[in-house]
Each structure stands twice: as structure tokens, then as C-alpha cells.
Amino acid sequence: MIESIFSTAAAAAELTVTHALLTFGIAILLGAVISFTYMRTQAAYSPSFTLTMMVLPTIVAIIILLIGSNIARAFSLAGAFSIIRFRSAPGDSKDISYVLFSMAAGLACGVGAYGYAVLFTVCLCILMFVLKAMNFGANKAQTKLLKVTIPENLGYEEAFDEVFRKFGVGYELKKVRTTELGSLYEVVYAVNIGPQTDQKELLDAVRTRNGNLDITLTMNPVVQEY
């Protein structure tokens, strides 16, 4: 019984309505489980991405069912999908891993390996929850983006060295540009702020040094464009 569940013999059989509906239902179920796992293990997420996680296994399974063992059909579908261009900004590595996760689940359903599809999906979802509970790979010092406007008479190279050393903040100067017809400078730092650092006190110290000009602290810079 167990061996029949994990058998891939269905992949070689002729495509039937029952087989297609079974594949469709299992792929939807696995997509729902993956999407739920993503929402529970991600602090902030896009609703459109969770929807993608829901339907992606089903789409991949349908493609595999349509291809079957027909080589000509496989090349035709490859040519059709080669014209697709994804215009959205690329996500982080965790999002990409979930995309591959969903595709693998759909692929397993498409070839008829339902038992392995369910087994691997459950195991990987449990792994995601365990890593989330362990806070695996978390960096205690968060990297943030600090933009500070300073007057032209203040040397930007060492303007805030003393402040950063006082608060134990690691920093790297990323960008310098002039503004207000050259009367002001805008400097951009990548700063590593530890959990024990009072961010308000840090910004107050910077504000005192730059003459109360504009300051922007970006909490989670997604794209590293300086």
C-alpha cells in the first residue's frame, strides 16, 4: 500500500480525467500548505506573492501533464515560455527558495509521485518553521541606510566618526552628493546598529552635529542602490 503511494507508475500511464483531477487537487493542497508556511515564517510579505505560492505548484503540474513524454511538445512549450519576461523586482533569496519549493512540489505532482510530493512538502515546511523558531541566520546588528544633509563647511569624510564610535555603530560611507546648488552635501552611510543602541539618541546626536538639517534612516533597505 505504502509502495503504491510512492510509485511513479502513474507518470507513464495515459492521461485521464481522474488522473488530471487528482494531480490538480493535490497540487492545490500543497500550494496552500506552502503559502501558509510562507506567511507564518515571513515577517512581512506581499499578498500577490502568497497567491503565487498557492497556484504555482498547480501550474507546474499542469505543464508536466501536458508535456508527458512527448519531446516535440516539450520543445514547443519551452519556446513559448522563453518569450515571458518578469518585470517585477527580484525578491530576496528566501522568496526565491519558496519559488523553487513550489515548483518542485508541482513537478512531483505532475510526474505522479504524489507520496513524495506530500512527504517532501511536509518535511520542508516543518524545517522552515524550525528555522524560524531558532531565528537561524539572524544578524543581531541590523544594517540600515542613513542619509544625512550637512552644511558645506562640515567635512563629510569624518563628520560623524565621533558620534558613531560613541554609540558603537559600524558604518561605511556609500555616497556623497551636493544639493541646494552646492550649498549643502547629502551623505549616505550603511550603518550596523545593534539592538542595544538607542536609535533616537543616535539621531539626536547626528542632528546636533549637522545643524538640525534633514536626516533619513531607512530601516530595511531592500535594493542596495546608493
53 and 146 share a domain? no
Region 23-44: mean pLDDT is 89
182 and 151 share a domain? yes
Supply the pTM of this predicted model.
Answer: 0.58
Please list, residue by residue across 97-132, b when 16 or more beta carbons sit within 10 angstroms of its beta carbon and e when fewer do.
ebbebbbbbbbbbbbbbbbbbbebbeebbeebeeee
* Single residue among 134, 155, 173 that ends a domain in this structure: 134
146 and 94 share a domain? no
Q: How confident is the model at residue 200 (pLDDT cuts 50, 70, 90)?
A: confident
68 and 160 share a domain? no
Domain range for 124 is: 2-134
Give the residue, 182 or 107, on which the prediction is more confident.
107
107's enclosing H/E stretch is helix 93-110
Question: How does pLDDT run across 138-183, given as a tens digit for each residue?
Answer: 655 567 888 998 888 887 777 788 888 888 888 888 888 888 777 8
Report residue 168: phi and psi, to 5°.
65, 40
151 and 184 share a domain? yes
User: For the chain, what is the domain count?
Assistant: 2
Residue 147 lies in a domain: yes
* Single residue among 134, 169, 193 that ends a domain in this structure: 134
Region 111-123: mean pLDDT is 89
Greatest CA span in the chain, whole angstroms? 81
112 and 38 share a domain? yes
121 and 214 share a domain? no
88 and 198 share a domain? no
Cell of 160: 560623524
Residue position matching grid coordinates 509521485: 113
52 and 129 share a domain? yes
How high is the pLDDT of residue 31? 92
Q: By the 8 A CB rule, do 23 and 112 touch?
A: yes
> What CATH number does residue 204 fall under?
3.30.70.260
Q: Does the structure show a pLDDT above 80 at 1?
A: no
Q: In what order do the strands lie in the sheet with 215-218?
A: 170-179, 184-193, 142-151, 215-218
Cite the beta strand spans of 23-167 per DSSP E: 142-151
Give the residue, 3 or 30, on which the prediction is more confident.
30
Residues β-bridged to residue 170: 192
* Single residue among 134, 153, 171 that ends a domain in this structure: 134
